[in-house]
Structure 1
Amino acid sequence: MRLDIAGTRGEHEGDAEGTRMTDATSRTIDVPGAVLTYDVRPGSDADTTPLVMVASPMAAAGFATLAGYLTDRTVVTYDPRQSERSKLTTDVEPNPEIHADDIHRVVQAAVGPGPVDVLASSGGAVNMLAFVAAHPDRVRTLVAHEPPLVSALPDRETAFAAVHDVRNTYERDGLGPGMAKFLALVMHSGEIPADWADRPAPDPAQFGLPTEDDGSRDDPMLGRGHMVNTTGYEPDYAAISAAQTRVVLAYGIESEGLITHRATVSVADALGVEPTRFPSDHGGFLGGEYGQTGDPDAFVARLREVLDN
């Protein structure tokens, strides 16, 4: 399983072979508590609805390959307030409502008040569900790709206990042990056992993670409440259902049985829609960014099919 969150912890690697990138203009915007950096890639067809692509905590760099396939559309990407080029100016822990407000300000600055389509992946999908509830007429189609909403799972209590165990391990022992527990959790298929937190801790070395604690606690995934605030968020399903936005809950076929797949299905059920299958896995759109490669050719074909439907 490839994860966008891994992309926040290393250098991204160029575009996939065969893709073509347009020049991106990078800009900044001051928002309450942060200075955000976002990118705009003008499309060749001015009449095509702009496409906004968001994740969290993965930054704009993770969408470089995908943007190279979509040169007909104006594409907007951004770095969430805890990631890469964006800078925090407050100690307040971000939550999906704060991120949703950030995205709204970025979109307004980038393309104005007109309708947009959105591909939102992982934590970005959670944030965009909050966005749609708050701005019901702003998005034409939202493709919410694998939102990790533990709050929607039938085994939410044991799953959320496991999330807290990951956070507690990180705060106590540092990045390696915390991320090793995180990876073991998101790679687990099926419901989370009640004794999950009591099981032997995985060895960070088996994942290529550091075994020594460097004392830092600023990892975008495990720090600043991101994981707990994202997975525990309770969407306003009634407001989302009443919005003008067509919401597509999407999951990668290689993610079946994992938390992100099960959460996607549960959210789709809560909204009364059928989940939609996409190629590859949680990072199916990646083409070498952060050292990860999904199946971007097939992913973009499926994305176009869904957006044009």
Structure 2
Amino acid sequence: MATLKTPDGTLHYELRGQGPLVVLFAAPMNAGAFETLADLLATDHTVLTTDPRGIRRSVLDDPEQDSTPALRGRDLALLLAEVDAGPAIVFGSSGGAVSVLALAQDHPEGVRAVIAHEPPHYTRLPDRDKLDARMEDMVATYAAGDTRTAWAIFMENANIHLPEGALEHMFPAERDPQDLADERYAFLHMMRGTVRFEPDVAALRDGPVRVLIGLGEDSAGELCDRASRELAAALGTEPTMFPGGHVAWTEDAEGFAVRLREVLRGL
């Protein structure tokens, strides 16, 4: 574990293993979400994980500063320069997916390829105005203190259908203060910039970094399924399929690692 001072804060990051450099990055999820997958890959890779800015151990000088894909992409570029372990393959999931796209188009140096797994941006979708209005309602609802309804709107926008009563189980009577702080930061300072990310298709398609758009086999019909397929088509490629759904790498790390290794070998 180590830290890196940046122009506007301090990043917490972790390195494990030896071999070609692979970065695992998500947002708003912290580095701990990748622990099992990182350990599996570290048998023959150097694996870099990090808490995204404003989350957990990556603190900002101004804790109310918004987090955008461009800023998170810059953070990743600073970490790659600090680690200096050769050209990296960077896997980003969810908000991390749009972050690695920003990395590829803005800071391609030191990056061999990026795998953007289920980017949740909707700026290229035909119903973006409706999605954006719901997103604003969600943020306002959370800011007003109605956490459960805000999460319900989030799931509706993402077109994720939870089992009956699942939302209730997400909110135990006592919640960890750090979890609450991370949730607040994600809703109030991260989600807008993430879903409103506008990829530079020409830079991603024609630039020096190979770009793969990852998609979960169980995500059919969800917002990230639509966004991923649209962006892959714009780039002139097909989605790279992975087992499971949006956060499969947390639910079945071993199965996900098998498929990710196959993809890494092709890069």
**TM, length-normalised to structure 1:** 0.77
- Of the structure 1 ranges 67-76 and 87-96, higher mean CA displacement relative to structure 2 is found in 87-96
Question: 1:106 corresponds to which residue?
Answer: 79
Cα distance change on mapping 1:217 and 1:299 into 2, 3 Å: closer
**More off after superposition, 79-88 vs 91-100:** 91-100
Residue range with higher mean Cα deviation, 78-87 or 156-165: 156-165
Matched length: 257
The answer (yes or no) to whether the contact 1:180–1:204 under 8 Å persists in 2 is: no
Q: Which residue of 1 aligns with 2:221?
A: 257
Q: Does 1:238 align with 2:202?
A: yes
In the alignment, structure 1 segments of 5+ residues that lack a partner are 1-25, 190-201, 287-293
What's the secondary structure of 2:27's corresponding residue?
coil
In 2, Cα distance between equivalents of 1:42 and 1:111: 15
- Offset from partner CA, 1:88-116 (integer Å, 9 cap, x none): 1023212111111111111211235x310
Per the TM alignment, residue 173 of structure 1 is displaced from its structure 2 partner at its CA by 3.0
Which whole-Å CA distance do the structure 2 matches of 1:159 and 1:239 have between them? 26
Identify the structure with bigger relative contact order (alpha carbons < 8 Å, sequence gap 6+): 1
Equivalent residue letter for 1:95: T
Q: Where does residue 41 of structure 1 map in the other structure? A: 16
Matched-pair contact (CA < 8 Å) for 1:176–1:204: no
Q: 1:173 to 1:204 in 2, by over 3 A?
A: farther
Shift of 1:42: 2.7
Q: Do the aligned partners of residues 77 and 159 (structure 1) sit closer, same or farther apart at CA in structure 2, a change above 3 Å counting? A: same
The letter of the residue matching 1:93 is: D
In the TM superposition, 1:131-210 aligns within 5 A as 131-188=103-160, 206-209=168-171
Question: What TM-score does the superposition give when structure 2 sets the normalisation length?
Answer: 0.89
Instruction: Note if contact 2:159-2:221 (Cα within 8 Å) is conserved in structure 1.
Output: no
Q: Equivalent residue for 1:220? A: 185
Shift of 1:164: 1.4
Distance in 2 between residues matched to 1:245 and 1:300, nearest whole Å = 22
The residue aligned with 1:28 is 3
Asked if structure 1 preserves the Cα contact closer than 8 Å seen for 2:11 and 2:57, the reply is yes
Where structure 2 has 5 or more consecutive residues not aligned to the other structure, the ranges are none
- Render the CA deviation track for 1:197-229: whole Å, top value 9, x for unaligned: xxxxx9996354379xx9x886132122x1111
SS of structure 2 residue aligned to 1:277: strand
Please state which structure has a larger fraction of its residues in helix: 2
2:91 and 2:100 in contact (8 A); partners too? no
Q: Distance in 2 between matches of 1:176 and 1:273?
A: 38
Does the Cα contact within 8 Å between 2:74 and 2:107 map onto a contact in 1?
no
- Helix, strand or coil: the match of 1:150? coil
Task: Tell me the SS of whatever aligns to 1:285.
Answer: helix
Give the percent of matched residue pairs that are identical in Structure 1 and Structure 2: 36
Q: Secondary structure at the match of 1:55?
A: strand
